[in-house]
Amino acid sequence: MMATFIGYILMYRFYGRFISKKIFQLKPGNKVPSVELNDGVDYYPTRKEVLFGHHFASIAGTGPIVGPAIAVIWGWLPALIWVFVGSVIMGGVHDLGVLVVSLRNQGKTIADFSGKYINKQTKYAIFIIAFLLMWIFISILGMIIAVIFDMFPGSVVPIWAEIPIAIWVGYMVSQQGKSLLKWSVIGVVLMYVTVVLGTYLPIEMPVIAGIQPTGSWTLILLVYAFIASVLPVKTLLQPRDFINSHQLFIMMALMFLGVVFSAIRFPEFDIVAPAYVANPPGAPDFFPFLFIVVACGAVSGFHALVSSGTSSKQISNEKDSLMIGYGGMLTESALSVFVILATVSGIGLAYTSKNGELLSGLPAWQEHYSSWHAAQGLASKVQAFVIGSSNMITAIGIPRNIAVVIMGVFVASFAGTSLDTATRLERYFISEIIPEKVPVKFKNRYILSALVVITAALLAYSTGSDGKGALTLWPLFGAINQLLAALALVLLTLYLRQKNNRYWLLTALPALFMSVVTIWAAVHNQIDFFEKNNILLIVINAVVVILAVGVLLVSLNHFFTKRKN
């Protein structure tokens, strides 16, 4: 753990600064969209500390938790290596690069400026891929939070209490000019007061008019996403995400102390999982699926949407991009390291089997990770992290019931920030693709946000009243997400070549690697869909792969044509 964290610091200090100066040539004097196009709603110049909180909380979501929590089924070593190497070599460059290119194109999304650097057809191809990704993501995020509420009812009160707390903190700082540090502390303290309150006042949603609890929560959360999407960023988006970023650092501090105190208090505390497992029962091939399962902790296409969506519209100084883009990626990767530690060490302290037997050590880990089927479910992934992390922080002296709520709130809070950000991002994408001849009144944020939420609800309820319809398309999500990351890296390579930057290989090599592993995984998925005769997934996956391969071929031709010229 210490070795990886020292590695993050060194890579940020040396490699991060290198790519910011030599590759993307950040200059504090360059004009930024937040100042040029300031509208007080989406474009708004923001202090880098606050924007870091928004950016990190948005890209994190549940990605850096659920990915590593399942990837350790292949052993802790491959997951750890990919999380570290992927983030410092690929993910950080990807996030920073897309953010900078968007800054230099009026804060437009990756789909929009791909039309400038490649051609108009690729703009529509990337839009379709991104739209499908966001459609699934918004619907699944609502379901994830609903499942967490169902699993940990003590998290309900603090999650909803966080909204008025965030609005109040945002008002005092942005409108009243109060101290950011002071009011951040006040907001975080109030947040953890509600955590204790929620522990003793759990709320369980009943079945309402035949609608299952998860279905009711999903509907409520989508209504919240609509409201959050139309509000000015300074009202809710920024302050809530800023408070959530504090939650991250508090959680990481608790887990660090948990590791130290667990090692002192519990002689049995150790890494109980194997370093490498060649063939876990029922699991797909380690290569290429490790690089699909672990996305947000290493490199993720969703980050390109956040970087070129909300974050690029709020940066007040181009030089802040290093901290926001590269620093945000490395911080998220550090979170994944803690998740790995919780699922390979913390879970070994205490785990209750399905038949009620209390297990510890390797048997505890094997019980949870007995097979791919047992470990891959959403509830199983979240449960592995929550149990493992809460086991460790109880060593500090925090009561177990409160520790479980703290971790449940942490997961749900980050899923919530990604939900409202994703809804806003989908609105941006749709607004950019609508033809100019369409009347402006049909492009306003209320109509577009309603369209986003309604389509997500249709997917969520497509299979019944439990709101879990997005699970139908969920098998597509990992490969689509990583295909988008590959395309973003390809686009950065073309951007650098057009600028005659001699360091273009630093994006081209990651682009090549990601293109190969994601298309490989998508083909594996297609074979699996054929074997299961799943026509819907066969068709959608085929369309996505064809679009992605088409963009790659056009980009390759574009690259060599420009080079020849």
Q: Is the pLDDT of residue 375 over 80?
A: no
pLDDT digits (tens, 9 = 90+) for 130-181: 999 999 999 988 888 888 898 889 999 999 999 999 889 888 887 788 888 7
Q: What is the mean pLDDT of the chain?
A: 90
470 vs 563, higher pLDDT: 470
The pLDDT score that the predictor gives to residue 376 is: 62
**Closest CA relative to residue 338, chosen from 118, 72, 550, 524:** 72
Residue 501 has pLDDT above 90, yes or no: no
Q: Which residue has the higher pLDDT, 120 or 291?
A: 291
Q: What is the pLDDT of residues 394-407, one digit of tens each?
A: 999 999 888 888 88
Q: Which residues contact 111 (CB under 8 A, 6 or more apart)?
A: 123, 124, 126, 127, 130, 429, 432, 433
d(CA 57, CA 473): 25
Model pLDDT for residues 342-353, shown as the tens digit of each residue = 999 999 888 887
Which among 349, 370, 344 is positioned nearest to 359, based on CA atoms?
349
pTM of the model: 0.93
**Which one of 7-21, 147-161, 180-194, 547-561 scores highest in mean pLDDT?**
7-21
Output the CA torsion sign for 293, 297, 298, 302: positive
In this prediction, residue 125 carries a pLDDT of: 92
Percent of the chain with pLDDT over 70: 98
Q: Is the dihedral of CA 45, 49, 50, 52 positive or negative?
A: positive
Residue written as token pair 């986003």: 452
Residue 79 has pLDDT above 90, yes or no: yes
Which DSSP string corresponds to 376-401? HSHHHHHHHHHHHHHHHHGGGT--HH
Q: What are phi and psi of 151, to 5 degrees?
A: -75, -40
2-477: CATH number: 1.20.1730
pLDDT at 41 over 60: yes
Residue 265 pLDDT more than 80? Answer: yes
DSSP for 408-436 reads HHHHHHHHHHHHHHHHHHHHHHHHHHS-T
- Average pLDDT (300-320) is 94
Question: Residue 381 pLDDT more than 80?
Answer: no
Per-residue confidence (pLDDT) for residue 323, from 0 to 100:
96
Cβ-based neighbour number of residue 223 at 10 Å: 13
Q: Is the pLDDT of residue 483 over 60?
A: yes
